[in-house]
Amino acid sequence: MSATGYEGIVVLGVPRSGTTLLRRLLRAHPDIACPPETNLLSAASRFLEEQRFAGGLSVGVVPGLHFAGFAEAVVLDRLREFVFEFWRDIAAREGKRRWAEKTAVDIFHLDAIERLCGDRCRYVAIVRHPLDVVCSLKELGDKMESHLPELFEFVRRRPETYEAFAEAWAAGNRRLLAFADAHPGWVVRVRYEDLTADPRTTLATIFDFLGESTDVDAVLSRAFSDGESVGLGDWKTYASHEVSAGSVGRHRTLSPWTIERLSPLVDDVMERLGYEPIRRKGSPGDDQRRQELARLVTGMKLSSSSPATSS
């Protein structure tokens, strides 16, 4: 533990919320090492997973080792040391005092992260407008020709891609809000839109919270001039040479029909995060378009059900 009472920093955010940009800015701090995505915490989360059965029986590493004489606290201590030691080595190699971890899918493993890291870390959370996130996730999936594994459950549950991603955004941020409410002294939350509009003020807020105040202008300069290991993350961010708000509002390309469908999935969380909820009531022409579509569909059904005539 350092003099500030914690050892490391964990970046939290739904994928495509600006976590890679935040990682570039954190690593430009003279005392913070933030490597490319390591996936260490998501792997540790899977290590701790348990399958529960009737009668209170659980199958997994922790209950298994309990029967072998190892208390849960011992298992967590050893796993924590295994994981943290990699980041300590990275920080030492860079000559920095503190490490930070950013892997975009960590938000979906927050229960295990809370259990493993607890107050030994501070958490920098970044949120972004849900409709911009779903557009970016769709673009990522198209390029990957697949989805992030943590999104599979949402895609299986909702065959409509945008709806699946909207549900994932809401689930991740609900868990984040609950975590921050339970541990207000551990978490600082910023919005992607604020970071891109006013990076100096937003970064100063983050660094002050971490007890790592520094020259923010120097950080912004280094973030886009230093050579770095790219690793996994947002390819657009790595191609950028400054903090830009160019991706804010990209959801305006979505149709009103799609936006209306996403509204009930995200509105309540949007309000809690300080965004204006969607709650679209439709434009005056929407009813007419719906009626035209209904007539078209009805006509197609009638046509397909008519008996074929012989010539």
Q: How far apart are CA 26 and CA 24, in angstroms?
A: 6
Q: What tens digit of pLDDT does each residue of 14-45 get? A: 999 999 999 999 999 999 999 999 999 999 99
What is the biggest distance separating any 2 CA atoms in the chain, rounded to whole angstroms?
91
Q: How far is Cα 235 from Cα 135, in angstroms, rounded to an integer? A: 15
The predicted-structure confidence for 192-235, as pLDDT tens digits, reads as follows 999 999 999 999 999 999 999 999 999 999 998 866 555 555 45
Mean pLDDT of 96-102: 98
The set of residues, in sequence order, having a beta carbon less than 8 Å from that of 132 and lying 6+ positions away, is 16, 192, 247, 248, 249, 250, 251
Sheet strands side by side (includes 8-12): 32-33, 98-101, 8-12, 121-127, 187-191
- pLDDT beyond 70 at 61: yes
In 10 A of CB 182, how many CB atoms? 10
**Distance between CA 257 and CA 44 in Å, rounded?**
41
Token couple for 59: 């199958």
The angle, 0 to 180 degrees and rounded to 10, between the axes of the packed helices 161-182 and 110-117 is: 30
Residue for token pair 């469908």: 261
Indicate the pTM of the whole model: 0.84
Burial string for 252-269 (b: 16+ CB within 10 Å, else e) reads: eebeeebebbbbebbbeb
* Distance (Å, whole) CA 258 – CA 245: 24
pLDDT at 284: 47
| Average pLDDT score over residue span 72-99 | 98
